[in-house]
Amino acid sequence: MRPKILLLPILLALALHAEAESTLKKNVLLLCIDDLRPELKSFGVDYIHSPNIDRLAASGRAFHRHYVNAPTCGASRYSLLTGQYGSSNNQALFARAKQLEASDASVTPSLPEWFRKNGYTTVSVGKVSHHPGGWGGEDWYDNNILEMPGAWDRQLMPTGQWRHPRGAMHSLADGEIRMGRSFTENKMDAFQSADVDDTSYHDGLIAEAGIHQLKDLAQSDTPFFLAIGLIKPHLPFGSPAKYMEPYRDSELPPIPYPEKPDWRTTWHKSGEFFGQYNHHEQDPRQNSDYADQVRRHYAACVTYADKLVGDILESLEASGKADETIVVLWGDHGWNLGEHAIWGKHNLFEEALRSPLIISLPRMEQAGQKTDAIVETTDIFPTLCELNGLPVPDFVHGESLLPILEDASASGHPAYSYYKNAKTIRTETHRFTLHEDGYAELYDHTSPLKETQNIAEQNPQLVKTYKQLLLQESSLHQTN
Q: Which fold has domain 25-413?
A: Alkaline Phosphatase, subunit A (3.40.720)
Q: Are strands 415-419 and 422-426 parallel, antiparallel or unpaired?
A: antiparallel
Q: Which of 32, 73, 301, 385 is catalytic?
A: 73
301 is catalytic: no
Q: Are strands 277-278 and 142-146 parallel, antiparallel or unpaired?
A: unpaired
Cα(352)–Cα(342) distance, rounded to whole angstroms? 10
pLDDT for residue 459 is more than 60: yes
pLDDT for residue 478 is more than 80: no
pTM: 0.94
Across the chain, what does the average pLDDT equal?
93
pLDDT band at 391 (very low <50, low <70, confident <90, very high): very high
Give the least confident one: 57-66, 179-188, 307-316.
179-188
Return the pLDDT at 237: 98
The predicted model gives 449-467 an average pLDDT of 97
Domain boundaries, the chain: 25-413, 421-480
pLDDT for residue 5 is more than 80: no
Return the pLDDT at 9: 44
pLDDT for residue 10 is more than 70: no
Q: Which of 66, 130, 170, 234 is catalytic?
A: 130
Cα(61)–Cα(364) distance, rounded to whole angstroms? 9
Cα(399)–Cα(382) distance, rounded to whole angstroms? 6
Return the pLDDT at 479: 47
Q: Are strands 61-67 and 237-240 parallel, antiparallel or unpaired?
A: unpaired
Higher per-residue pLDDT: 128 or 22? 128
Non-local CB neighbours of 358 within 8 Å, separated by 6+ positions: 42, 53, 56, 57, 60, 61, 62, 63, 327, 328, 329
pLDDT for residue 480 is more than 90: no
Q: pLDDT, tens digit, for every residue of 304-349?
A: 999 999 999 999 999 999 999 999 999 999 999 999 999 999 999 9
Count Cα atoms within 13 angstroms, Cβ side, for 474: 22
73 is catalytic: yes
pLDDT band at 186 (very low <50, low <70, confident <90, very high): low
State the DSSP string of 55-95: HHHHTSEEEEEEE-SSSSHHHHHHHHHHSS---SSTTHHHH
DSSP annotation of 449 reads T
